[in-house]
Structure 1
Amino acid sequence: MSVTVVDPARIDAFTLELRELLPDAVSTDDGDLERASTDGSHLSPVIAAQLPLGRAQVVVTPASVDDIPAIVRAAVRHGVPITPRGKGTANYGQTLPMAGGAVLDLSRLRRVVEVGDGWLTAEAGAPMIAVEQAANRAGQQVLMYPSTAQSSIGGFVSGGSGGTGSIKHGMLHTGFVTALDVVHATEDAELVRVEGADTEKYLHKYGTVAIIARVTVRLEPLQDWRAFFASFDDYHDLLGVIRQIGRLEPTPRLVSGDGPVLAGALPADPAILPGKASLRAILDEASVAEATALVEAAGGTVVDVRTGAPACIKLSMTSYNHPIEWLQKAYPNTYFHVEVIGDGLVERIDELEAVYPGGMLHVEAQQGRPIGMLAGRYSSPEEVYAGFPRIEALGVGYHNPHQWFVDYEPEATRELAAQTDPTGILNPGKLDVAATVDTGSQL
């Protein structure tokens, strides 16, 4: 695949201006450009086969939120595309500079600005684990955090959907974010405060409508969490109990499950037994006894119950997309996945896993209906897409993750971008939806 680049003369003029303004923030070093042009796209063999999707020509790493407007104004003047980036943990190319130009690396903006009663403000590059720890020190917790706890808060709200805590609180667009400081791509770019429901227009948009500089999220009182591990001889027995555990009160923060092969690919842990299906949950201490009774009544065994935030964070790293990533590490160049949702994940599991050769389901308890990642052996994009009608025929919703463009409210996103980015320099390529790509509609 050929890589698009911006006219070098424009890049040189932009770089010269920024070096005079922010001499320590600008790099054209090959190593820095390469690092800024890669992300977690290896998770998708469909996308990996198309790499590289773009290459940065300059990387700008501001040390202050107040530097962002000047950077954006310069990019507008010189017509240089600008792609925002946090920790680069995006799995499908969302942070790759498809039009070349500049990557705006926000990883130095790591400060937790303030913690209040029921809220916290952090700079966009602050790691989610640091945000959670700051909340904990104040006797509070964030409503949810992603399974990649080292990812940045800006990256999470720009590219995430939900995570650890979403059984109770739903997805990002249900009141998680209360305020944003953003920068629009205009000639007079400045920090703009956005609050309440207006923040939703900027969430899960991959930085195509604005650069997110600071994020304010809701907090709730800290709970006494436990990392809960159980095993089952039969994956069907695990599936039979996962919805019940997800409905416990106080509401669990996470409930995940895998069959023996998927569980065996996870990082070695004495609580994940070889050859067994593995159920892993983050439970309020008050619900551990009831969860234990449910597991034992379903024929399972509680293997371990661990205390402390580190144990819970570690358990989170085996949820959502992560089991698929560990599976790919254990069996390189073998597996792909599709995101799925519905009671059919439990009630029609054998038929669902038969959709793809080598089919295996990672399952998560969630509000209303379980969600999951259906893995299968990869042969071609056409074989991936051919499975979608068969999934739907089972009454199961799906989402095709093998694309890099905004597919959450794309028309509204384009309408907003026409106002906030009139020259189209913000993360170009991420609003170009190919009509032939089936993204799914039920997840």
Structure 2
Amino acid sequence: MSHDVITHIPDEVLADLSVDPAILVSDPTEIRAMSADSSMRSKKAEANDRPLATAAIVVRPVTTEQVSRVLAWATKHGVPVTPRGLGSGTVGAGLPIRGGVVLDLAEMDEIGEVDVTNRMVTVGAGVRLSDLDEAIAETGLSVGHYPQSFSLASVGGSIAMRGSGTFSSLHGNMDDRVGDLEVVLPTGEIVTTHSMPRASLGPDLKQLFAGSEGMLGVITKVTLRLVPLPVARRFNSVRYETFEQALEAMRLTLVAGVRPAVVRIYDPVEASAKHAQFAEQEGWLTILVFDGDADLVATQEEIALRLAAEHGGTVLGPEPAVHWEQRRFNWSWFTDAVGHEGGAAEAIEVSATWSELPALYERMKAAGGTVMPEFMAHVSHVYDQGAALYAIVRGQFADDAEALTHYDAVWEAVVTAALDSGAVMGHHHGVGLERAPWMERGIGAGSMNLLRSLSKALDPAGIMNPGKAGL
């Protein structure tokens, strides 16, 4: 496929698209809005009236058949297609940098009947996460996926980016919540997986599209695995003098079979910034939330706090954790900074093993701190083998041009530090444009070649979200 940017689709080509004209959007203002996302780079471009990308047209399907027709048409005519959920992405994966079509899936927001016995529900890819949880709450069930973008993100987008939520330590990540998928391939073929509750019938094809960022096909419908709303929820928090103490206490908590719903370990800077009223002494602050049966969560909390005390922890009680819950969807740290001329902010998340995390933190702090005035970090999303490390960087500069220079520099500094440490360079925000320069180093040349081969096999015309993830 040509790398030319398609800003106009000829009338005779558009006439070959056999869909209801009502789903075609040609208003320039709306096209521009649908051609942006929530990344700092996109927001700065919009603020300076220099959009990073502009589609030729927006198509807003309401049925899978319409998606199929659009993709078959696009393949036939070589028109780039960029799938879009609700635009909450922060790495540029949803930006139509080659123009063409933005496939806006927001209207595919149907919610099927909840199967309470088997704890599952089938929904459209465009449904908003918060709307879905509200709609099914009366059944006593939830998706169990609560990212900071809970009210901003779609189900399909969360899957396509392999998203993660704050309760992932108990319920897993978004890809773990997926039971089955309906996907439209770039050729227009509709594929439905069948693997509930589990299958041994070749590779798990739904995982091929989890994390695909719209490059291999379009997710149109999802059957989600649901979790019970907790009967009881307990909060607690612990202060440690060192990162190593906090990590070892949490590692052994998991070894003991205890699964907190939420684990967050804040470095002293972030602990002071977000929990100043509880930070009488400087240290590392661990936030703990336990969900489930009342007796079970009481026992789990008791074990976790015993292990914390054995590793130098001082129990602070529930208040810091309750404070966190009340503010968990607040991302003003980003919007306030980016919304000002010269302001910069970013969150760069990586993952590493327990033994790698202390050195990784120091490397990332040293690298990021040389580029941005403010660096803070926390651990979240814990696993048997390790955890995610989430770095927040901010700064105020003379103007947006200088802010973007530092933004690019901090991405390079922090990602390089992570790769040099042997860490995984991305945990749950995806690749998009921001991580693309390091993609081959991050996954290895062999894996990159395999990804290219998959893309070529499924998308022979090269229409699907071109220019992303190093492809």
Give the TM-score of the pair, scaled to structure 1.
0.77
Query: Is 1:385 the counterpart of 2:412 in the alignment?
Result: yes
In structure 1, the gaps of 5 or more residues are: 434-443
Query: Is 1:337 the counterpart of 2:348 in the alignment?
Result: yes
Give the Å deviation of 1:36: 1.0
Partner of 1:180: 181
> Is the CA contact (8 Å cut-off) linking 1:227 and 1:305 kept in structure 2?
no
CA separation in 2, counterparts of 1:97 and 1:350?
34
- How many residue pairs get aligned? The number is 418
Q: 1:333 aligns to what SS in structure 2?
A: strand
Query: Is 1:123 the counterpart of 2:150 in the alignment?
Result: no
Please list, as runs of the form range in 1=range in 2, the aligned pairs for 1:140-155 lying within 5 A after superposition. 140-142=141-143, 144-150=145-151, 151-155=153-157
Partner of 2:317: 302
Give the Å deviation of 1:91: 0.9
- After superposition, the C-alpha distances for 1:378-397 in whole angstroms (9 at most, x for unaligned) are 7364565356565566x551
Give the TM-score of the pair, scaled to structure 2.
0.73
Q: 2:113 aligns to what SS in structure 1?
A: strand
Give the Å deviation of 1:325: 3.5
Partner of 1:29: 27
> Is the CA contact (8 Å cut-off) linking 1:165 and 1:253 kept in structure 2?
yes
Give the Å deviation of 1:83: 0.9
Give the Å deviation of 1:329: 5.5
Give the Å deviation of 1:333: 2.0
Q: 1:354 aligns to what SS in structure 2?
A: helix
CA separation in 1, counterparts of 2:460 and 2:419?
39
CA separation in 2, counterparts of 1:35 and 1:108?
16
Give the Å deviation of 1:165: 4.0
CA separation in 1, counterparts of 2:190 and 2:413?
46
CA separation in 1, counterparts of 2:166 and 2:335?
18
- After superposition, the C-alpha distances for 1:161-219 in whole angstroms (9 at most, x for unaligned) are 4333432455555x542321111222xx2432123311111111111111111011223
Partner of 2:334: 325
> Is the CA contact (8 Å cut-off) linking 2:7 and 2:55 kept in structure 1?
no
Give the Å deviation of 1:86: 0.5
1:231–1:425 CA distance, 2 compared to 1 (3 A): same
Give the Å deviation of 1:93: 0.6
Query: Over aligned residues, Cα RMSD in angstroms?
Result: 4.2
In structure 2, the gaps of 5 or more residues are: 196-203, 396-405
> Is the CA contact (8 Å cut-off) linking 2:124 and 2:222 kept in structure 1?
yes
CA separation in 1, counterparts of 2:127 and 2:279?
31
Query: Is 1:90 the counterpart of 2:89 in the alignment?
Result: yes
Partner of 2:425: 399
Letter in 1 for 2:390: M
Q: 2:74 aligns to what SS in structure 1?
A: helix
One of 366, 371, 393 as aligned partner of 1:354? 366
- After superposition, the C-alpha distances for 1:351-373 in whole angstroms (9 at most, x for unaligned) are 34334325422211511212212
1:167–1:57 CA distance, 2 compared to 1 (3 A): same
Give the Å deviation of 1:153: 0.8
- After superposition, the C-alpha distances for 1:257-311 in whole angstroms (9 at most, x for unaligned) are 3235434655x9988999886543431253354255566761241243889xxx9
> Is the CA contact (8 Å cut-off) linking 2:367 and 2:413 kept in structure 1?
no
1:247–1:30 CA distance, 2 compared to 1 (3 A): farther
CA separation in 1, counterparts of 2:31 and 2:233?
42
- After superposition, the C-alpha distances for 1:379-420 in whole angstroms (9 at most, x for unaligned) are 364565356565566x55141663258777543443333333
CA separation in 2, counterparts of 1:345 and 1:326?
31
Letter in 2 for 1:257: I
> Is the CA contact (8 Å cut-off) linking 1:227 and 1:306 kept in structure 2?
no
Q: 1:112 aligns to what SS in structure 2?
A: coil
- After superposition, the C-alpha distances for 1:203-259 in whole angstroms (9 at most, x for unaligned) are 111111111110112234443353635364856465564445556755222211323
